[in-house]
C-alpha cells in the first residue's frame, strides 16, 4: 500500500457542509485513498470517504480538535473532527509533509480564537498546508501579514492576490508561483487555491447575517464556525456548501498533482 503523502482535515466535512448528505459526499468525493483524518474514541483514524461517512453520522456529538487539543483528545478517549492545525499535528506525528483544509482560521474576534491555532501551527509545525483562503469573517489582511511576519511563505499557482473565501471580501498581495512539487514542500509554507471569483456568493449582507448567527452561537456555548457556515448555507440555499465541497475536492486534486505527479 502506498504511503500517504498528505492528509485531509475532517472539520469542514463533519460540521460545515449542512446541505451535503452522506450519500452525496460519497458520490462526489473523487479520491479513493485513505487520506481523511479524524479522532474516534481517542484513536487517530486515517480512512477513506466511506469509512469517514460512518463517523460523520454522529456529527452532532463530535467535537472540533485543533493542534493544542489533540493529545488531550487521545488521552481522554474523545471523538472529534480535526481542524487544519489538528490535521497538521497528525501529519507531523506520521511523518507526512502536507495537510489539506478549505477555509482556514486566522485573526479575528472569535472568542478563544482571536489568533486561530492554524497560524502558530503554520509557524511551528513542520508541515505545509493547502487552503482555499482564510475565512471571510476574519481579518484576512492581518492574517496574511501575521504569516509573512512570522516567516510563513504564502503562495498560489493561480493568482497574486488573496481576495476572500466564499465571498469576494479581501484584496491582499501574495506570491504567485509557476510550479509546486513534492520535493519543494517545506515547513512554514501555505499554498492557497482559491474558489474562482465568479463562483463565489455575491451578496455580502449574507456574510453579515452569518456573523451575527455565529455570535449568537458563541453566547449559547456552541461552535462559531459551524453556525456561520449553516447560516450562509441557509441564505444561499445550499450554494455555499456546494462550492466549499468543490473547493476541498480541488485542494485534494492539487495535492495529488504536487505529491504524485
d(CA 128, CA 182): 10
Give the CA-trace dihedral at 168, 204, 142, 189, to 10 degrees.
-40
Which among 171, 214, 216 has a CA at the least distance from the CA of 194? 171
pTM (predicted TM-score)? 0.96
Which neighbouring-strand residues pair with 128?
98
Residue 161 forms beta bridges with which residues?
173
The helix/strand/coil state of 104 is strand
pLDDT value at position 2?
A: 67
Q: Please give the chain's pLDDT, 261 residues, in tens.
A: 467 999 999 999 999 999 999 999 999 999 999 999 999 999 999 999 999 999 999 999 999 999 999 999 999 999 999 999 999 999 999 999 999 999 999 999 888 778 999 999 999 999 999 999 999 999 999 999 999 999 999 999 989 999 999 999 999 999 999 999 999 899 999 999 999 999 999 999 999 999 999 999 999 999 898 899 999 999 999 999 999 999 999 999 999 999 998
Tally: H helices and E strands in the chain: 10, 14
Is residue 37 helix, strand or coil? Answer: strand
Pairing mode, if any, of strands 133-134 and 172-173? unpaired
Amino acid at each position: 500500500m502506498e504511503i500517504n503523502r498528505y492528509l485531509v482535515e475532517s472539520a469542514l466535512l463533519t460540521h460545515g457542509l449542512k446541505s451535503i448528505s452522506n450519500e452525496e459526499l460519497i458520490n462526489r468525493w473523487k479520491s479513493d485513498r485513505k487520506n481523511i483524518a479524524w479522532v474516534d474514541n481517542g484513536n487517530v483514524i486515517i480512512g477513506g470517504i466511506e469509512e469517514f461517512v460512518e463517523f460523520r453520522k454522529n456529527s452532532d456529538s463530535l467535537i472540533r480538535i485543533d493542534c493544542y487539543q489533540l493529545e488531550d483528545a487521545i488521552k481522554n478517549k474523545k471523538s472529534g473532527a480535526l481542524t487544519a492545525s489538528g490535521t497538521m499535528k497528525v501529519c507531523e506525528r506520521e511523518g507526512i509533509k502536507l495537510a489539506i483544509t478549505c477555509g482556514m482560521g486566522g485573526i479575528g474576534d472569535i472568542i478563544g480564537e482571536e489568533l486561530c491555532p492554524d497560524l502558530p501551527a503554520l509557524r511551528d509545525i513542520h508541515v505545509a498546508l493547502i487552503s482555499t483562503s482564510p475565512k471571510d469573517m476574519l481579518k484576512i489582511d492581518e492574517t496574511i501579514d501575521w504569516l509573512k511576519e512570522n516567516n510563513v511563505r504564502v503562495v498560489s499557482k493561480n493568482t497574486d492576490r488573496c481576495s476572500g473565501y466564499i465571498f469576494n471580501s479581501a484584496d491582499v498581495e501574495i506570491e504567485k508561483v509557476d510550479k509546486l512539487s513534492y520535493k519543494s514542500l517545506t515547513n512554514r509554507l501555505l499554498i492557497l487555491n482559491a474558489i474562482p471569483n465568479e463562483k463565489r456568493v455575491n451578496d455580502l449582507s449574507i456574510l453579515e447575517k452569518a456573523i451575527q448567527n455565529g455570535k449568537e452561537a458563541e453566547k449559547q456555548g456552541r461552535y462559531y464556525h459551524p453556525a456561520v457556515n449553516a447560516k450562509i448555507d441557509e441564505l444561499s440555499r445550499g450554494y455555499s456548501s456546494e462550492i466549499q465541497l468543490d473547493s476541498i475536492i480541488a485542494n485534494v486534486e492539487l495535492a495529488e498533482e504536487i505529491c504524485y505527479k
